[in-house]
Amino acid sequence: MLGLGCPKQAFAKIATPRCLLLHPEQIARIESKLPAYTVGSLQRKSQMDVLLEFITSLLEFPDPGDKLKELGELIKDVFQLMPSGKHMIGRDLGRLGSTASLKYCSAG
């Protein structure tokens, strides 16, 4: 183990849209009657904060290279690539011919 806790817990710190409403910088903006930050920009900033915190803690290990290799193996187990459901590959598209009503409209 990396000594950073469970891999899922280590990556759970990465911001999700639900917790960004409670982000300290967002709360300060809202309380100051200023426009709120976008969820995407807060999410990216939180992800970079976690990345920098991770790199800092990684460099404190006696052999950071070995720990980084170990993390690479853990990432393969934790983050599985999932097929997209938005693409039409492999789906039955049904009947694609024109209907009687379309033939009638195009004739007129």
The per-residue pLDDT for range 66-105, each reduced to its tens digit, is 999 998 899 888 988 888 777 777 777 777 777 777 766 6
Distance CA 75, CA 104 (A): 58
Q: What is the pTM of this model?
A: 0.50
Reply yes or no on whether the pLDDT at 8 is more than 80.
Answer: no
Contact 30/36 with Cβ under 8 angstroms? yes
Distance CA 19, CA 93 (A): 39
pLDDT computed for residue 30 by the predictor = 87
When pLDDT is averaged across residues 25-30 and rounded to a whole number, the result is 87
Q: What is the mean pLDDT of the chain?
A: 77
Contact 19/28 with Cβ under 8 angstroms? no
How would you class 20 by CB atoms within 10 Å of its CB: exposed for 0-12, middle for 13-18, buried for 19 or more? Answer: buried
Distance CA 45, CA 14 (A): 10
